[in-house]
Chains A and B, each alone.
Chain A
Amino acid sequence: MKRTVIGLVVFLCGLCGITAFGQAPAKPDKKIEVQLLWGTDSATSPNAGHKPVQPDVHKRLKTLPLKWHNYFMVTNVTLSVPRGQSAKAPISSKCAIEIKDLGQHNLEVSYFGKDKKVEKRTQSLPKGEMLFYGGNAPGTNAWLVVLKRLE
C-alpha cells in the first residue's frame, strides 16, 4: 500500500513537472515602433521640437522613390500588441493608429483621423522590415508614418 501511494505521488509529481516544463512559454507581445515624419526640401524644420530621423529609417527613405531631400521625426510611439489582440495609440492630436496582431508576422494596421477609420491594411512585418505610409502635405512637403517591428 505504502509503495503504491509513494509511486502514485512520484508519478503525479513527474506529471506536474512534465506539464510545467513541457508547456510552451507564453509568447511576448509584439512591439511596433510608429514614427510620424515630415518630408521637405528645406534644410531645417520650422518646428524646433522635430528631431532628425533615425539612421536606419533615413537609410530606407533614401532607397524609396521619394523626391524630398530631408526628413524630420515629429512623434515616436511604441505599441505593445498582445498576441491575437490589438493596441491603439495616438500619433498626433487628431490621429491615431491601431495595430492588430493576426499571427506570425502579420498585422492589421488602421489609421484614424478625427476618430474615423480612414485607412486599413494587412501587412506582413517581420523584424528588420519597415512599412511606410505617406502622402503629400501643403507646401510641396510630405507626411510619412513608418512602422518598425522591434520584437
Chain B
Amino acid sequence: MDYDAQLKLQAYLDGELPEAEAKDMAKCLARDQDATVLLAELKNTRQALAGGEMPRQLPESGEFFWSKIEREIERSELSQPAPAHESLLARWRRLLVPVSAAAVLGIIILVMVGPSNSSLAPESEVASEDSGSFVYRDESGTTLVWLSYPAENDIADETGGNRL
C-alpha cells in the first residue's frame, strides 16, 4: 500500500472520503490484508482517544483568576477611545455612572470614618505605579499585592537562587 493509499484509508476511517471513493476503499480492504491490519491499528488508536482526555483543573483559585481577568477588562475598556457621535442622553448616562459611584463611595467613607479606632482605620491606597497590579485581602488581615512585572525584574533575579 503506498503512502497516498494509506492516507485515503485514514480518510475512509474518518468518514472524509466521497461516497464513490469510500466504496472503492471498502473493496480494497476486502482483498488487501495489509490494509486491514493498518485500519485495525488506526481504529484502536481512535478508540483509545475516544476514552477522553485527562481532566485538569485550573491551578489557581477561582477568585484570584477572576480578579486578574476583571482587572484586565477594566484596563482595556479604559484605554478605548470615546465614541465619535453620542446622543445627549448617552452622554448623561456616561456621566451618571461615575457620579453616582462617587456619591456612594463618599457616603460609605463618611459612615466608616467615625471616631477613629486605629485597628479599623480604612486602608487608603495610592494608585500603584504598576497599573497591572491588583490586590487581594482576606479576613485574617492578610493583603496580597500581585504585580505584573515581567519575570525578569530585579527582585525576581535575586530570588532565582543563584546570586545570593
Contacts and interface: CB of A to CB of B under 8 A. Distances in A.
A and B interact physically: yes
Interface of A: 36-38, 45-47, 49-50, 60, 63-67, 74-75, 91-95, 104-106, 108, 111, 113-114, 117-124, 126, 128-139, 141, 143, 145
Interface stretch (B6-14, B22-30, B59-67, B91-99): B59-67
- B contacts with A: majority SS: loop
Contacts of B119: 105, 126
B141 A64 contact: no
B126 A122 contact: yes
Interface string B141-164: 111111111111111111111111
B116 A141 contact: no
6 contacts: A46-B162, A50-B161, A119-B129, A124-B121, A124-B124, A135-B147
Contact of B142 (A46, A63, A104): A63
Given A38-B159, A143-B155, A134 B121 contact: no
A74 B142 contact: no
Interface residues of B, number: 45
Contacts of A95: 154-155, 158
B127 to A, nearest CB: 9
Contacts of A104: 116, 118, 121
Contacts of A60: 140, 142
B106 interface: no
Given A65-B61, A129-B143, A135-B147, A120 B158 contact: no
Contact of B141 (A47, A65, A74, A126): A126
B63 A119 contact: no
Interface in B5-62: 59-61
A104 B113 CA distance: 14
